């Protein structure tokens, strides 16, 4: 079942890269008491994700925060090492938190997986964005397969 506006995010665990290596990030702790703009991409270092999706949120990070967003997060079904390297290469440090969903636990829990096996990618998260306030989904924007429109930073900014 796909998550909807008004639903509480399910309890899962992300992983983020830190100076001391990979660190578990329980979702209930991460989203508690703050407003988070989170977006999902099918994969780190993939064309649309690297050329448009992540850079858009990096570029609009100050504007999103000026509209009440406490934190911006990117998630993908990749490991923390890949997400950390991608964030570093894209200049996301201090602007976008890179949350690895290595086993697709989050993507499955919110019902937003896709089958990328014909491209050798296996199970991945769909492209989407959300505004989450204190663990509750306030806005949810799910892309049609192959599209990049409603999950962009610009679109999310208009919703705030």
Task: Give the CATH number for residue 32.
Answer: 3.40.30.10
Which H/E stretch holds residue 84? helix 80-90
Is residue 2 in some structural domain?
no
Is residue 3 in some structural domain?
no
pLDDT in tens, 50-63: 778 999 999 999 99
pLDDT, average across residues 15-22: 95
pLDDT at 33: 97
* Active site residues per annotation: 49
Is residue 8 in some structural domain?
no
Structure-block tokens of residue 57: 């949120």
DSSP letter at 50? I
Is residue 7 in some structural domain?
no
pLDDT at 119: 82
Is residue 151 in some structural domain?
yes
Is residue 27 in some structural domain?
yes
Domain span holding position 97: 13-159
| Under 8 Å between Cβ of 143 and 155 | no
| Domain total in the chain | 1
| E-state strands within 11-151 | 13-18, 21-26, 35-40, 71-76, 97-100, 113-115, 123-125, 128-133, 136-142
């Amino acid at each position: 079942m796909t998550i909807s506006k008004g639903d509480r995010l399910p309890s899962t665990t992300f992983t983020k890269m830190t100076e001391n290596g990979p660190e578990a990030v329980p979702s209930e702790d991460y989203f508690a008491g703050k407003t988070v703009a989170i977006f999902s991409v099918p994969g780190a270092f993939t064309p649309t994700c690297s050329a448009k999706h992540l850079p858009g949120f990096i570029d609009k990070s100050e504007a999103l925060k000026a509209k009440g967003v406490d934190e911006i997060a990117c998630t993908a079904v990749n490991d923390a090492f890949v997400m950390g390297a991608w964030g570093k290469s894209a200049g996301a440090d201090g602007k976008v938190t890179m949350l690895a969903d290595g086993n697709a636990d989050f993507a499955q829990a919110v019902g937003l997986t896709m089958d990328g096996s014909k491209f050798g990618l296996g199970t991945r998260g769909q492209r989407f964005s959300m505004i989450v306030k204190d663990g509750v989904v306030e806005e949810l924007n799910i892309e049609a397969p192959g599209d990049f429109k409603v999950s962009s930073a610009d679109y999310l900014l208009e919703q705030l």
